[in-house]
Amino acid sequence: MKSAILIEEKHYKELTDLIKIFENFVAFLSSNIANDLLTFLSPTINFEAGDIAKLPIIFPSSPQIKQKIDQLTQECIDISKEEWDSRETSWDFKTNELLRLQKEHGFQRIEDAYNAYCNYWREKFYKLHQNEEELNRLFIEIYGLQEELTPDVPLEDITILKKEVKIVGGELVFNKAEIIKQLISYAVGVMFGRYSPDHPGLHIANMNESPKEANAKFHIEHPTFEIDDDNIIPVLEDEYFNDNIVARFKKFMEVTFGKEHLLENLRFIEEALGIDVRKYFYKEFFKDHIQRYKKRLIYWMIASPNKTFQALIYMHRYTSDIFAKVRTDYLLELIAKLEAKKEYLQNQSATTSSQRRKIDKEHRNDPKKAQRVV
């Protein structure tokens, strides 16, 4: 161990210098000069390692210019990594951005958190853009190509926030729906125990780890949000169970942003989505989850062919008896409730035409067919 430490200390400076050279090379490869040279060397749709090796590398002779390149490059790396880590799919993901800003500023209205998000990331976006143009200018000077090239970088070429932002008339326009969907995805993670509002990063991510064990591991005696105990959350068109996903989402919003502005916050979310929360969960959430995780799903949807019954489960809390629990604790109970509702409506002498249509629809979508999924 001692010799390893001595070797590390002895070569630390050399290693640091190599990293800096590598980072400078990455900055050069991202510049207008490298792009034009590679296009000349290989006028095809892709570049090979041999094409990269042919690039003429000129290191700055001025220590001041080298230091400036180091600084700008590190800032670009830091911004890009922060943006990457703001997504659930990053190994270093900590928490949702709206919640991070809510905790930092004490916001109770989600609109305030959203506006802070836009201001924060707008500044990061333009800083990255400014740095890239300044790096271009420095490399153009190093190579003496002031007459041939300009340092300009189109906003569309900035590679962060591709899902959250689009460029309209030279201005950033934030995709409010995508930003809210990221919050909802995180909220579902909190419901299942994948994440916790009480600490950053993953909470339960190991098979056979119970919520109680996870809380103990992170020394949480009184959790802010109670994890779903049976790892089954119904996702239905109507509210048939107390622990349905919409009820849990409202509770999540209440414990994170507070009770005072709950209705206002839910309205803001629904305006951003363009549909109400229940319809989003019932029709769109799982599609978004598939797209977000590129079919490497974290949550699984158990559904009947006609979607009369749907329920989410979390893969890391899967147990061999979970499908039996879905059937006995939820599916059979839903069938009984639907049949009782249909019978009640049929017995009403004042049944309206819309109610009759609903009865007919539920009759066509016989809930007993849902038993086939389990």
Q: Which two tokens stand for residue 212?
A: 């109680």
Would you state the pLDDT for residue 4? 45
Instruction: Please indicate, yes or no, if residue 341 is contained in any of the structural domains.
Output: no
Instruction: Please indicate, yes or no, if residue 99 is contained in any of the structural domains.
Output: yes
Residues 82 and 103 in one domain: yes
> Which of 116, 141, 174 is the C-terminal boundary of a domain?
174
Residues 290 and 218 in one domain: yes
Instruction: Please indicate, yes or no, if residue 160 is contained in any of the structural domains.
Output: yes
Instruction: Please indicate, yes or no, if residue 370 is contained in any of the structural domains.
Output: no
Residues 146 and 221 in one domain: no
| pLDDT tens per residue, range 150-205 | 999 999 999 999 999 999 999 999 999 999 999 999 999 999 999 999 999 999 99
Instruction: Please indicate, yes or no, if residue 133 is contained in any of the structural domains.
Output: yes
**Structural domains of the chain, count:** 2
| pLDDT tens per residue, range 71-123 | 999 999 999 999 999 999 999 999 999 999 999 999 999 999 999 999 999 99
| Count of beta carbons in the 10 Å neighbourhood of residue 24 | 19
Residues 302 and 208 in one domain: yes
Residues 65 and 127 in one domain: yes
> Which of 125, 158, 174 is the C-terminal boundary of a domain?
174
Residues 152 and 29 in one domain: yes
**Is residue 373 over pLDDT 90?**
no
> Which of 300, 319, 338 is the C-terminal boundary of a domain?
319
SS3 string of the chain? Answer: CHHHHHHHHHHHHHHHHHHHHHHHHHHHHCCHHHHHHHHHHCCCCCCCHHHHHCCCCCCCCCHHHHHHHHHHHHHHHHHHHHHHHCCCCCCCCCCCHHHHHHHHHCCCCHHHHHHHHHHHHHHHHHHHHHHHHHHHHHHHHHHCCCCCCCCCCCHHHCCCCCCCEEEECCEEEECHHHHHHHHHHHHHHHHHCCEECCEEEECCCCCCCCHHHHHHHCCCCCCCCCCCCCCCEECCCCCCCCCCHHHHHHHHHHHHHCCCCHHHHHHHHHHHHCCCHHHHHHHHHHHHHHHHCCCCCCEEEEECCCCCCEEEEEHHHCCCCHHHHHHHHHHHHHHHHHHHHHHHHHHCCCCCHHHHHHHHHHHHCCHHHHHHHC
Instruction: Please indicate, yes or no, if residue 25 is contained in any of the structural domains.
Output: yes
| pLDDT tens per residue, range 295-311 | 799 999 999 888 889 99
Range of the domain at 285: 180-319
Residues 140 and 188 in one domain: no
Residues 17 and 131 in one domain: yes
Instruction: Please indicate, yes or no, if residue 299 is contained in any of the structural domains.
Output: yes
* pTM above threshold 0.85: yes
Would you state the pLDDT for residue 1? 42
Residues 170 and 195 in one domain: no
Instruction: Please indicate, yes or no, if residue 78 is contained in any of the structural domains.
Output: yes
Residues 198 and 152 in one domain: no
Residues 279 and 215 in one domain: yes
Residues 168 and 197 in one domain: no
